[in-house]
Structure 1
Amino acid sequence: MASPNPYGKLNEADQERLVARRKTRRHITVIALSSIVLVAIIVAAAVGATQTRDNNNNNNNKYAGGLLRRDPLPDSCYTSLSPLVKSRHISPHELYKLSLQVSVDELSRAADGFFGSPTVKKVVVADNRTLAAVESCRKLFFLALDHLSDCASSAAGLHDLRTWLSAAGTCQQTCVDDLSAADAALGSLAEGHFRNCTEYTSNSLALVSAAEEALGGGGEWMTAGERRMLETPTGLMMFDAVVASNGSGNYTTIAAALKMVPVKSMKRFVVYVKKGIYFENVRIEKMMWNVTMVGDGKDTTIVSGRLNYVDGTPTFQSATFAVMGQGFMARDMGFINTAGPSKGQAVALMSTADRSVFHRCKMDAYQDTLYPHANRQFYRECDISGTVDFIFGNAAVVIQNCNIIPKLPMRGQTNTITAQGKKDPNQNTGISIQNCVIRPAANLTGVDTFLGRPWRNYSTTVFLQNQMEGFIDPRG
């Protein structure tokens, strides 16, 4: 997660040299040690399962016992990993890649079985809600597959691996959630098809989690250059595209400007969005890496939409502004969903992008306003307002120095600020809200307001050093 104060002034040249040296040492150490520890854990688990009668395997059994305590699905873990140790000449790197391949292969097989099943093929175009849920599930499947594929990268550190495995599991669960909301029988069918791959992903996550705790991991993921960009005045920035609704820029819509973003670019593509209200549903697709979007202010550059659950759009697809491409940054923009409280889930901003940052932005809706879905995210000096579960998801997210504003809900509803979605104890996810001001909207009276609710079995939310007024229910 982000450090508590990521915007402190830097001696930039010295800081970048120091960070480079630390990264090089840490990179070499983590690759070497993580390979050794992961192999020890995997071999111990598999051998412990197949040779439990051997009294000479005390050390292996000790490792296996430790792994079993970490893994919520020990039987599945043994079943999936036992084939990996049949070869005595396999290298540590090959062994770890094979363990991930079990998850990838099973996810691909399950997707082929589900999307190719007669039940799914019979979903007709006229059934808009169910059809939209199927398409949402398909998109989430590819996101999960991408995250598992990223985990096979030899350059990835343990914290990266744990983040991406957590995200893969979250994508699979969200697919089932969206389908279940549209059609309970179809949701059950998907859950059955995806059960094994969900378990195998959880097994890999348990291994990486144990290794990370043994070796350490984490650290800052924002670069000095990214911090500088968030502090640079708009007038001093260079832009790759300028969007203006009045025609004074290169493009009149944000969607048109995004067509110019290079695929998986390591260089930042900077878009300036001039003041105005943009009535469009924007999608930063997963191949659009390192996009930066800068507006004229959270109350003057506004993206507005009204997609919602009641009218047939799955929650994951309802966002006015959705981010899937890694490394996204936004500054001085507003994102709103105007569907209203009677329309149920209606997301203003959804991000499932790793290392996404939002600075001086506004997110305004009613139910499910801000959806930090998965991966690492950071929000600073933002205004976030809503009613039911208006900050929810399963990202590793820090919300810092923000205004959090519960609004008046529908009659009979109760306000809950957060609903965190951790389902696996080894996921490195949670909502951290630090140094924020939590205050009611001007018209909020006579309504119970809670800091949050446990959406899943391992929901994790922390409120730290915040200012709260007396309207928060003392029960939580």
Structure 2
Amino acid sequence: MATCTHLFFLLLLVLAVLLLPTTSSTVSPPCQYTPYPSFCRSSLPISNSSANVYDYGRFSVRKSISAADKFSAMIDKYLSRSSGLTTGAIHALQDCQYLARVNIDFLTSAFQTVDKSQTALSTTKSQDIQTMLSGILTNTETCIDGLQSISASWTSKNGILAPLANDNKLYSVSLSLFNRGWGNVKNKKKSSLVSPHKKHIGFKNGRLPLKMSERSKAIFETVGRRKLLQTDDAGDQVVVSDIVVVSQDGSGNFTTITDAINIAPNKSAPADGYFLIYVTAGIYEEYVNIPKNKLYLMIIGDGINQTVITGNHSVVDGWTTFNSATFIVTAPNFVAVNITIRNTAGAIKHQAVALRNGADLSTFYSCSFEAYQDTLYTHSLRQFYRECDIYGTVDFIFGNAAVVFQNCNLYPRSPMSGQFNAITAQGRTDPGQNTGTSIQNCNIRAAEDLGSTRTYLGRPWKEYSRTVYIKTFMDSSIDAAGWREWSGDFALNTSYYAEFDNSGPGSDTSRRVSWPGYHIINATDAINFTASSFIPGDEFLPQTGVPYSGGL
């Protein structure tokens, strides 16, 4: 009898062991490679044991669309009954409303791609979708940052931040699954070495061959749909479909930049060429916003400090950082040349943005950006700046775009008493994002009013902050430590800060920070942050007429 009892219990034990969930069934293989394996498994309850990364990826993106729709509806509800809210709170909710709608557009576009494919995409398509999914995380984080400025009791009472935290996890899982399934990793690594020495001369002799000071009649007689702005001796040309002139004295087609933008065509195709707005010299006191449907728009001024666009919105005066900008652009393939953009709020007004750029494949050439804290908001997507001047104090280049600055001048200026300067505050929140700030062949020189204030190359605004300085001159205003903490040891292990072959008294790395996230890199690593690799410069910059170097 005892023997039978022992056999019975042994049989029960074997059955129990066989029925125990294994690690692979607790966390499905596709989920285990995401930043949130348990969340992925619970949020994507796919019962099919043979489901692969593509099945999970499609499910995740589809569920992300639903989450974005739900959050957008919640924000619409709060804004429809906004009585009792402060102006700052309304502005923060309006930012979230706009960003949620952008996210829905991006997710819908991403789903149309992943729903039709079960193999790695081409390099270009893969990078496009990764850029959009990276932008979705950036948009959500921007919304969270704005909401945190609202009364804590209001956000707690309305439960508005909790859903966003889950949404962000879901978006992160979607990005991770996309990168693993559809991402063209091999081709992307190979492309990092494409055309390492490619150079595009750009506008011949650095000047626009068209005499832009001629009156509009002569300009229109020249244009028509012809190739207008000849660039280099190789025959590359900038194609322009039409030109309008903005002049404050009434001699052009419009007296304000906004009026000219409003009549620009919507959703132009690449073959159509640029709709060119020539803005004559003058100080334009207006807030310029170029929406996403104004594709292939080019604005050319009469030069830095000649054509000036200026405003003074700031956080202290009730605006969010996101909407304090004098100039906002979200239209893909935008180009600006020879203009100055200012925010004159001053250091005392804290965050006050000159330019906020969320325009994919956008280009700024020979422009100047002037403010104090948060001058240039490289918010999201892919951007390029060449031969630009940037003035500021605290975090004066910040955001979470994939951005390359080339041959630019960075001018730290005098901040408020007790403040220090940080040139960059990069906002990457997820290791799967293709974002970061690359500063190449630039010059860092103290502005005339800087005095003894110490300046740092950057500080980690977000957990996976990424900034690289390549072949850049650094004057003695740069602190020997180079980099500054954000708060305690936050992101010192997870950020990526790197320097390569810089020069000048501020470039000495012997006393730099010893964080795990700080690196002195070689040319093989540095080339991954060039215009031909970090952003698809060879694909979109030649058509702009802007000079660039693809490699180191």
TM-score (norm 1): 0.80
2:161 is aligned with 1:191: yes
Q: Within 2, Cα distance between the matches of 1:148 and 1:325? A: 18
Structure 2 counterpart of 1:176: 144
Whether 1:271 and 2:277 are equivalent positions in the alignment is yes
Which of 308, 314, 324 is 1:308 aligned to?
A: 314
Instruction: Tell me which amino acid in the other structure corresponds to 1:445.
Output: G
1:298-357 deviations in whole A, cap 9, x for unaligned?
Answer: 221111011111000111101100011111111111100001111111000010111111
CA contact (8 A) 2:27 2:37 kept: no
SS across alignment from 1:116:
helix
Equivalent residue, structure 1, for 2:494: none
How far did residue 148 of structure 1 move?
1.6
**Alignment of 1:217 onto 2:220:** no
SS of the aligned residue for 1:405 comes to strand
Aligned-residue offset at 1:213:
5.9
Q: Give the structure with higher Rg (CA).
A: 2
> Does the Cα contact within 8 Å between 2:428 and 2:466 map onto a contact in 1?
yes
Instruction: Output the CA distance in 1 between the equivalents of 2:89 and 2:399.
Output: 22
* Structure 1 partner of 2:74: 113
Aligned counterparts of 1:227 and 1:103: Cα–Cα separation in 2 = 42
SS of the equivalent of 1:384 reads: strand
Match in the other structure for 2:428? 422
Out of 254, 262, 281, which is 1:259 matched to?
A: 262
Residue 391 of structure 1, aligned match among 387, 397, 419:
397
Counterpart residue type for residue 178 of structure 1: G
Q: Distance in 2 between matches of 1:463 and 1:166?
A: 22
C-alpha distance after superposition, 1:44-75 (max 9, x if no partner): xxxxxxx99579x8xx999927x524x22112
Q: How many aligned residue pairs are there?
A: 416
Equivalent pairs: percent with the same residue?
39
Q: Which amino acid aligns with 1:233?
A: P
SS state at 1:315 partner: coil
Cα deviation code 1:100-131 (max 9, x no counterpart): 211111111122234425xx655327721111
Give the alignment partner of residue 139 of structure 1, picking from 95, 98, 102: 98
Paired position in structure 1 for 2:130: 162
- Larger displacement relative to structure 2 (421-430 or 184-193): 184-193
The offset of 1:373, in angstroms, is 0.2
Gap regions ≥5 residues in structure 1: 1-50
Q: Do 1:350 and 1:373's aligned partners in 2 also have CA atoms closer than 8 Å? A: yes
* Equivalent residues of 1:124, 1:131 under 8 A apart: no
SS of the residue 1:316 aligns to: coil
Question: Greater helix share, 1 or 2?
Answer: 1
Shift of residue 81 of structure 1? 3.2
Cα offset for 1:451?
0.9
Query: Are positions 1:471 and 2:477 aligned together?
Result: yes
Query: Aligned pair in 2 of structure 1 residues 431, 186: CA closer, same or farther (>3 Å)?
Result: farther
Structure 2 length-normalised TM: 0.69
The answer (yes or no) to whether the contact 1:378–1:399 under 8 Å persists in 2 is: yes
In the TM superposition, what are the counterparts of 1:74-113 in structure 2 within 5 Å? 74-83=37-46, 97-113=58-74
- Alignment of structure 1 residues 12-411 onto 2, 5 Å: 53=21, 64=29, 68-69=32-33, 71-83=34-46, 97-116=58-77, 122-124=81-83, 127-154=86-113, 157-187=125-155, 189-211=159-181, 212=183, 214-217=185-188, 232-235=208-211, 237=229, 239-266=242-269, 267=272, 268-411=274-417
Aligned-CA RMSD value: 3.1
- Structure 1 residues 346 and 290, CA, compared in 2 at 3 Å: closer, same or farther? same
> 1:410-451 CA distances to partner (integer Å, 9 max, x unpaired)?
111111110001111111111111110000011211212111
